[in-house]
Structure 1
C-alpha cells in the first residue's frame, strides 16, 4: 500500500513535467497506456502553465519534457526512440532528437569518486586535471587530464548517487508496465514489463564503466585493420567501476562541418568512410557502435576518425547479419520475392502467413521510393517502414534489429551532413557484396561446416547415449536397431567430412 502511494506521488510528478511541455497528449499515441489515463492526468494538472515556444510535434515535446526531468527519463526516451513498435513511429522519430546533456556536477564530487575508486589522492594518479568537464551527460561527465607519466587522457566519472536515482525511477516504470500489461489487451503482445526489465539491465551495465571500457577494447580489436578509424586505448590502471580513463583524442567533432572544411578535410571521403565503417562493424563483426551522434566521432588532423563513448553498443548474431544483408541486397536488386522469402526462412514471419501477400506489401514499400534519386533513398528509413509493415504479418519485434535501424539512420544522417549528395546504396553495396561472398558462398558454407565438425563429433557420443537411454525407457525392443542406425550415421558423417576435406585440399 505504501509502495503504491509512493508510485502514485511520483506518477503525479511525471504528469506535471509532461504538462509543462505540452507532452501529455503524446501518451494517447502509445498503445500500452490505458485510454483513460491521458485525460485523467490532464484534469489533475490543468493549473500547471505550459512553456512558450514549444514545437508542434508531440514527439519533440515529449523529448524536451524527458530531458528536463533528469537522467532516468533521458535514458528511457533514448530507449523508446528505438522501439517504434511500442510508441509509434511519429513519437519514436521525435524522441530521436533527445540530447543526452545535463549540467555538470561539482569537481569536488568528481575528485571524491576518483580517490575512492582508485585509492590515494587524485594527484597520485594525475599530474594535471582540468576541473571543468569537457562533456556532461546523464550518466557521467568527462574531464581532460595528464597522467603521472605524461600522457594526455580523458577521465569519465559517474554522477554521484546515479544508481539510487535510476533504481527509484525505474521502480515507477516497472509498476506502470505491470498495470498496463494487466489491463490493456494490446500490451500483452508488446510486453512492457520485459521492456522495462531490459532497460534496467542496460542502464545497470552502463553504470559499470569497466564494461564500457571492455566494449571499447573489443571494438578496437575488431577494427584493428581498418585504415582511418580507431578507438582510443583504455588505461586499465586508472579504470574502475565508476571511473574510466582512456587516451585523449585531438581533433574536430564531426558536427562542426565549417571547421572540417577550414581544416581542409575531404568531406566526401569522410562521408563514405563513416557509412562503410558502420556497415563493417554491423555486418562483419556483428558488434557496432550504437550511439553515433556527431559528438561521438572526432576527425584527427591527418583525417582519421576516432570514436568515443561506448555506453550503448549493438550486437548481431550471424543469423541476424545474414537476414540484414539479404534484405538490403534484395531491395537494391528489387527482388521483393527474395526479401519476403528471407523473412520466412529466418522465422521472423510465421509460416501461416502468405508469401505472395507479403511480397506485395514489400513492393508497396519500396517501389514508390526506388525510382527516386539514390541520394534521397534512406536505407535506415526503408528498414523502419519494413519493420512497421511486418507487424501486420505477425512478425515478432526484434529489438536488436530496431537498434541497428536507429543506428543506421544516425550513420546516414552524419554522412549526409558532411555530403548531402552521398549515394548510400553505392557506398553500402561493396560491403554487402563482400559479406555475402565471404559468408554465403558454397565455399564459405563448407568451411563453416568443417569448422564446426570437431565440436559436432565431440558431442555426438553424448547425444547418441541420451537418445538410446530415452529409447530404452520407452521401447527396449528396438535398441539394437537404432544403435546400428546411429552408428552408421556417425560413420557416414565422419566419412563425408573426410571426403570434403580431401576435395578442398
Structure 2
C-alpha cells in the first residue's frame, strides 16, 4: 500500500528524526557519504516543526523512536539484535529501548478474554487484577482460575494493535524501497530484507498462540534442568489474543538488595544464568533471546524463573556443532583448529589462506585471555570474531548474530549478580559436555542410525529401485544412462548398505 498514509508517515518520521537529532546518528551508522548527510539535513530542516520532540533525557535515536510510537519502538528493539545492520554503537543504544505504555482499561481486557475464550472473564477467573505491566503490543493481568484456584498471569493484546502495526509496517516497506532507490549505498544493508524480518517477528508476537507454543516447547526442553523453571502453559485459557501462564512468584533478578535480603546466593545465580543459556543454545538449539533482568525472577527456593517468550532463537544441529567447536577451540587456545572449523563449515571461502586466518584469530583470542577474569567476555570474543571473519569473506549469519546479542545481555545479567565471574570457567564444562555427546564416536553412530532410519522409509521400494538402476547403469549405450529419478535410488541402496556396515563396525569397535 503506497498511498498518502505512507508518504505522510515518512514525512513525520524524517521530521521527528531531524528534530531529535537522530538523523546524524542513523546516517553515520549506515555509513552514508558526506554529500547524502548534508542533503538529508537540508531536506529535513523545513519539516522539522512537524516532528515530535520526545523525552529530551534520552539519547536521540531512542527519543525519536519512542516519540513515533509502539511500532517504531518495537522496530528499534529488533534492530538492536542486528549490529551487523546498524553497527555496534547504535545497536547498544537501541537495546535499552523500553516499550512501557499506559495501560488500556480492564473492561477492554475482559471483553477481549470473553471474545477469545468464549466465556465471560469473571466466569473463568475468580480474580482479575488491574494491569501490572503494559507494553507496546500487550499488557499483563494477575488472575486466579475459578475452577482450580491456581494463580496465573494473563497476557492480553491491545485493542486494534494488529491494524495499527500493519499500517506502520506498510509505511516501513515504503520507506525501505524509497531509501534503496534514492540512496544506492544503502542496498548493502538490504533495507527491505530488514523490514521483512521485522514483519515476520512482529506477526509472530501479534499471534499469542505462537508465544504460547514457544513457552511450551521451552518448558519441555528445560523441565529437567535443576534450578530453572518456566511457567506452566494453560492451554484451555490461551488463544490468538490471550495467553495464560502459571504465575511466577519471586524476587526480580535485577534487585540485588532484595536478593541479598532473601538470602539468595548471587554468585551461584550469575553462573546459573550463563550456563543455562549456553546449555539451551547448544543442547536444544532453542534459547530465550531476551534474557534481561525484567524477564527473570528468583523463586523462594532459589530457582530462576523465566517468562516472556516473544523473542526466541533457534540454531540447527549442524550450526550448533560448528559453534561448539569454535568455542572449544578458543577455550583451548587452539586457533589453528578454530580456523579449520570455519573452512570445513564453508563459513570462509576456500580460496583464503587457513594459516593467515588462524593468525588473525590468535589476535582476537590472546588479548582476551590475557585479561583479568572480571573482564573476560565471550560476547566481546564473538564480536571480534565476526569482525575478523567478515574481513575474510564470511557471510552474515543471522542466527549467530542473535546468539551474540543475547550473550551480551546474559553476560551483563551475570556480571550484575557477580562482578568477578569468570566467563570461561562457567562456559568450559557446558561446552565440553556438548562436545563429548555430539562430536565424537557416539555422535557418529547416532548420525548413522538416523541415516538408516531415513533410508528405511524407502525400504519396500529400495530393492526394485536399486535393481532397475543397476540394470540400466550396466548398459553402455548413452541413451540408456540411468534416468535422474533412478540415480538417487542407486545411491540410496548403496548408501544404506554402507551405513549399516559402518554402524556394525562402530558398534564392534
Q: What TM-score comes out, normalization by structure 2 length? A: 0.90
How far, CA to CA, are the matches of 2:95 and 2:472 in structure 1?
Answer: 54
Which structure 1 residue ranges, 4+ long, deviate > 6 Å from structure 2? 465-472, 482-486
How far, CA to CA, are the matches of 1:485 and 1:220 in structure 2?
Answer: 40
Identify the residue that residue 475 of structure 1 maps to in structure 2: 478
Identify the residue that residue 433 of structure 2 maps to in structure 1: 434
Confirm or deny: 8 A CA contact 1:275 1:412 kept in the other structure.
yes
Q: Which runs of 5+ in 2 are unaligned?
A: none
How far, CA to CA, are the matches of 1:46 and 1:484 in structure 2?
Answer: 66
| Deviation of 1:147 (Å) | 1.0
How far, CA to CA, are the matches of 1:496 and 1:325 in structure 2?
Answer: 26
Residues 205 and 489 from structure 1, CA distance in 2 versus in 1: closer, same or farther, beyond 3 angstroms? Answer: closer
Identify the residue that residue 285 of structure 2 maps to in structure 1: 286
Identify the residue that residue 240 of structure 1 maps to in structure 2: 239
Confirm or deny: 8 A CA contact 2:211 2:310 kept in the other structure.
yes
| Deviation of 1:97 (Å) | 1.4
Q: What TM-score comes out, normalization by structure 1 length? A: 0.91
- Give the match's secondary structure for 1:349: coil
How far, CA to CA, are the matches of 1:5 and 1:469 in structure 2?
Answer: 67
**Aligned partner (choices 19, 38, 41) of residue 39 of structure 1:** 41
How far, CA to CA, are the matches of 2:120 and 2:495 in structure 1?
Answer: 68
User: Is structure 2 residue 390 aligned with structure 1 residue 391?
Assistant: yes
| Deviation of 1:500 (Å) | 2.8
User: Is structure 2 residue 415 aligned with structure 1 residue 416?
Assistant: yes
Residues 283 and 465 from structure 1, CA distance in 2 versus in 1: closer, same or farther, beyond 3 angstroms? Answer: farther
Aligned residues: 498
How far, CA to CA, are the matches of 2:175 and 2:18 in structure 1?
Answer: 18
How far, CA to CA, are the matches of 2:41 and 2:248 in structure 1?
Answer: 50
How far, CA to CA, are the matches of 1:489 and 1:385 in structure 2?
Answer: 43
Deviations 1:428-447 (A, max 9, x none): 00000000110001232122
| Deviation of 1:64 (Å) | 2.9
Residues 298 and 479 from structure 1, CA distance in 2 versus in 1: closer, same or farther, beyond 3 angstroms? Answer: closer
User: Is structure 2 residue 258 aligned with structure 1 residue 268?
Assistant: no
Identify the residue that residue 377 of structure 2 maps to in structure 1: 378
**Aligned partner (choices 501, 504, 509) of residue 501 of structure 1:** 504
| Deviation of 1:483 (Å) | 8.7
Identify the residue that residue 453 of structure 2 maps to in structure 1: 454
Identify the residue that residue 207 of structure 2 maps to in structure 1: 208
User: Is structure 2 residue 119 aligned with structure 1 residue 120?
Assistant: yes
Residues 208 and 478 from structure 1, CA distance in 2 versus in 1: closer, same or farther, beyond 3 angstroms? Answer: closer
**What's the C-alpha RMSD, in Å, of the aligned pairs?**
3.0
Identify the residue that residue 17 of structure 1 maps to in structure 2: 16
Identify the residue that residue 148 of structure 1 maps to in structure 2: 146
**Aligned partner (choices 112, 132, 135) of residue 134 of structure 1:** 132
Q: Which runs of 5+ in 1 are unaligned?
A: none
Identify the residue that residue 350 of structure 1 maps to in structure 2: 349
| Deviation of 1:122 (Å) | 1.4
How far, CA to CA, are the matches of 2:84 and 2:249 in structure 1?
Answer: 40
How far, CA to CA, are the matches of 2:60 and 2:362 in structure 1?
Answer: 34
| Deviation of 1:85 (Å) | 1.7
Q: How does 1:301-316 map to 2 (within 5 A)?
A: 301-316=300-315
How far, CA to CA, are the matches of 2:337 and 2:47 in structure 1?
Answer: 53
How far, CA to CA, are the matches of 1:469 and 1:33 in structure 2?
Answer: 64
| Deviation of 1:499 (Å) | 5.8
Greater alpha carbon shift after TM alignment, 335-344 vs 482-491: 482-491
- Give the match's secondary structure for 1:29: helix
| Deviation of 1:492 (Å) | 7.3
